[in-house]
Amino acid sequence: MTVPDDRWLAGDAYERYMGRWSRPLAGAFLEWLRPPAGAHWLEVGCGTGALTSAIARSSEPASVVACDPSDAFVEHARGRVLDPRVSFVTGGADALPSRDGGFDLVVSALVLNFVPNPHEALAALRQRLRPGGGVAACVWDYAAGMEFLRVFWDEAIALDTRAEALDEGRRFPLCSAPALRALFDAAGLTHVDTGAVEVETRFAGFDDYWEPFLRGTGPAPAFVASLDLPARHELRERLRRRLPAGADGSIPLRARAWSVRGVSA
Ligand SMILES: C[S@@+](CC[C@H](N)C(=O)[O-])C[C@H]1O[C@@H](n2cnc3c(N)ncnc32)[C@H](O)[C@@H]1O
């Protein structure tokens, strides 16, 4: 099975599938980061604006410049984050906005594993910092702690070994605390620190879990779309058995991300 190119096109589909979990994660990531008030921020790979709005809401920024290479995502975010301290720009890690004197903080949530060369991307992020500024990032723990996707891939692989090539837990070795630390150390950042940031991903019921796999963009929906109807039905029933609902019908799961931060000398 062909590994997808992780195209980021449809803001609404992304929101329904993954973006809704980016929002609680953004808040938890900022709690871990404990940024100072009054900072000038650059956010790289802002997507539909989950971290952008959390910064505006809880971190008392002086300004936030948020960028993403996807026009569709930037438009989605621009239409929803209306804070006058926030501006959006289309551009990826290879074409970042700059600020006279540098940004105080450069952050990136759930992006570094998708860029073609994380070392180059981190060098570009660092280059936009003022001396002594901080850079921080987080990535989902696809291999173990991102439970709703872990369960999906475990069952998908049990059904059809072609799914192995799509499983983000195998595709993204950067998504571990030691790998992130090594990346930040190699960039020459100081005071490098890693952490685990966990949020609840509670699904209202099995349909709320399953439906985004039928219409979202991303590797798991692409795999579901590749199955014929009997195989799709079997996968759905396997997952239903793996995910028993609680007394109120909801399915409580957890999702962990690994976080990392460092300081530019
Ligand atoms: C999983 S989404 C995360 C979006 C958002 N930060 C969030 O927390 O929901 C990955 C994002 O990385 C962006 N991206 C992909 N390649 C990139 C690159 N080279 N530089 C910056 N962002 C990139 C995508 O457009 C997409 O918005």
- Atom 23 of ligand 1, nearest CA residue: 45
pLDDT digits (tens, 9 = 90+) for 86-95: 999 999 999 9
Q: Measured over all CA atoms, what is the biggest interatomic distance in the chain, rounded to whole angstroms?
A: 59
pLDDT digits (tens, 9 = 90+) for 7-19: 566 767 777 788 8
pLDDT at 26 over 90: yes
User: To which residue do tokens 């219409």 refer?
Assistant: 215
Q: So what's the pLDDT on residue 11?
A: 67
Q: So what's the pLDDT on residue 86?
A: 98
Please give the share of the chain, as a percent, with pLDDT higher than 70: 95
- Atom 27 of ligand 1, nearest CA residue: 47
Q: What is the dihedral of CA 19, 20, 25, 30, to 10 degrees?
A: 80
End-to-end C-alpha distance for the chain, whole angstroms: 44
Model confidence band, residue 216 (pLDDT cutoffs 50, 70, 90): low
DSSP at 102: -
Q: 3-class SS at 8?
A: coil
Phi, psi dihedral angles at 87 (to 5 degrees): -130, 150
Ligand 1 center from residue 228 Cα (angstroms): 31
Using CA atoms, how far residue 156 sits from 17, 171, 242, in Å, is 17, 15, 12
Question: Comparing 53-62, 66-75, 142-151, 214-223, which segment has the lowest mean pLDDT?
Answer: 214-223
- Of 137, 140, 136, give the one whose Cα is nearest residue 153: 140
Ligand 1 center from residue 114 Cα (angstroms): 7
Q: How far apart are CA 82 and CA 79, in angstroms?
A: 7
pLDDT at 2 over 60: no
Distance from CA of residue 120 to its chain's centroid?
19
pLDDT digits (tens, 9 = 90+) for 160-177: 999 999 999 999 999 999
Model confidence band, residue 222 (pLDDT cutoffs 50, 70, 90): confident
Ligand 1 center from residue 229 Cα (angstroms): 32
pLDDT at 192 over 70: yes
Q: Which residues line ligand 1 (CB under 6 A)?
A: 8, 19, 22, 44-47, 50-51, 68-70, 73, 92-93, 109-111, 114-115
Q: How far apart are CA 52 and CA 115, in angstroms?
A: 19
DSSP at 95: S
Q: How many CA atoms lie within 13 A of 221 on its CB side?
A: 17
Model confidence band, residue 142 (pLDDT cutoffs 50, 70, 90): very high
Question: Comparing 140-149, 202-211, 216-225, which segment has the lowest mean pLDDT?
Answer: 216-225
Give the residue-averaged pLDDT of 36-57.
Answer: 97
Q: 3-class SS at 258?
A: strand
Rounded to two decimals, the pTM is 0.94
* 100 neighbors 13 (Cβ within 8 angstroms): no
